[in-house]
């Protein structure tokens, strides 16, 4: 089987994004081995960023350390040196050999291991503008600058993304307007249309709009082609997250392909690619 990079349907290529740097559902989150593999193969891969106590970013999803590392407490109150001393946990909660990486550690690895021309690493900022200061912004720019051509910075706070990206012109940006409970507020076709229009206005330079795949399918069920509307504005669409492969998610993926999404985020790229062939 070929590497799980993309699916093709009716002449359209949809990339499979390796969510939290997972190639398979059994992979732990954010290991350097998988990130470098993805970049070498030319995959789309995603990692998360959380601000730590020394005005930099850790490659972690949660704002607290307890679930995914051998540490405890808020990431924001933990120093860079302390973070580097922690090990990641596997899906079963047991510690693994891989250490927590900081953004500059990852960028150094990427500089030492040149990426495939098609490779794209999404840096998903999990916090908001209030967590940024001049030092954090400067440290971010210093870390990503040499490898920014293979990166895109995303998040749900457009102001934070703009501030972080401002010093690095070659860094692309994306925007995720989805928030907990948003589907409860979208009842009519007009609601969905206004939701998309507002997202495009909020992030006028975002190259990719990231949307919960269930929101895309809910809009489709009301006759609203969210993907088409975003394409008409010159942007691309990422549908997140297919967490496992089963009859329901296979059916959802087929519909997303028919709607011509540009990327599907999944915790199991290998399993999903195998199920769709």
Integer Cα distance of 80 and 123 in angstroms:
18
Q: What is the pLDDT of residue 1?
A: 66
Q: What is the pLDDT of residue 6?
A: 99
Residues of the chain with pLDDT under 70: 1
> What is the set of domains in the chain, with CATH numbers?
6-49+105-275 (3.20.20.190)
Integer Cα distance of 231 and 83 in angstroms:
40
Query: Residue 8: beta bridge partners?
Result: 13
Name the helix (H) or strand (E) containing 242: strand 236-242
The 3-state secondary structure of 83-148, one letter per residue: HHCCEEECCCCCEEEEECCEHHHHHHHHHHCCCCCCCEEEEEECCCHHHCCHHHHHHHHHHHHHHH
Are 276 and 245 spatial neighbours (Cβ–Cβ below 8 Å)?
Answer: no
Token pair for 113:
């291991």
Q: In terms of C-beta density within 10 A (0-12 exposed, 13-18 middle, 19 or more buried), how is residue 198 classed?
A: exposed
Residue 217, Cβ neighbours under 10 Å: how many?
16
According to DSSP, the β-strands at 87-89 and 95-99 are antiparallel
Per residue in 132-143, pLDDT tens? Answer: 999 999 999 999
Q: What is the pLDDT of residue 58?
A: 99
Are 46 and 122 spatial neighbours (Cβ–Cβ below 8 Å)?
Answer: yes
């Amino acid at each position: 089987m070929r590497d799980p990079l993309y699916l093709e349907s009716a002449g359209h290529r949809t990339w499979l994004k390796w969510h939290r740097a997972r190639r398979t559902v059994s992979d732990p989150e954010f290991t350097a081995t998988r990130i470098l593999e993805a970049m070498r193969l030319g995959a789309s891969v995603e990692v998360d960023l959380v601000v730590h106590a020394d005005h930099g970013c850790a490659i972690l999803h949660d704002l607290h350390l307890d679930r995914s590392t051998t540490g405890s407490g808020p990431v924001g109150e933990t120093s860079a040196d302390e973070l580097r001393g922690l090990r990641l946990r596997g899906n079963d909660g047991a510690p693994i050999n891989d250490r927590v990486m900081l953004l500059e550690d990852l960028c150094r690895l990427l500089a030492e291991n040149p990426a495939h021309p098609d490779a794209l690493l999404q840096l998903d900022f999990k916090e908001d503008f209030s967590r940024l200061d001049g030092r954090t912004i400067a440290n971010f720019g210093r870390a990503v600058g040499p490898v920014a051509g293979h990166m895109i910075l995303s998040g749900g706070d457009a102001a934070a993304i703009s501030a972080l990206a401002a010093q690095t012109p070659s860094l692309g940006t994306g925007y995720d307007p989805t928030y907990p409970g948003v589907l409860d507020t979208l009842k009519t076709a007009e609601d969905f249309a206004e939701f998309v229009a507002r997202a495009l206005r909020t992030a006028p330079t975002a190259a990719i709009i990231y949307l919960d795949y269930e929101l895309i399918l809910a809009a489709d069920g009301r006759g609203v082609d969210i993907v088409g509307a975003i394409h008409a504005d010159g942007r691309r669409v990422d549908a997140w997250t297919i967490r496992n492969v089963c009859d329901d998610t296979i059916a959802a993926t087929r519909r997303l392909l028919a709607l011509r999404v540009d990327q599907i985020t999944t915790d199991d790229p290998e399993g999903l690619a195998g199920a769709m062939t």
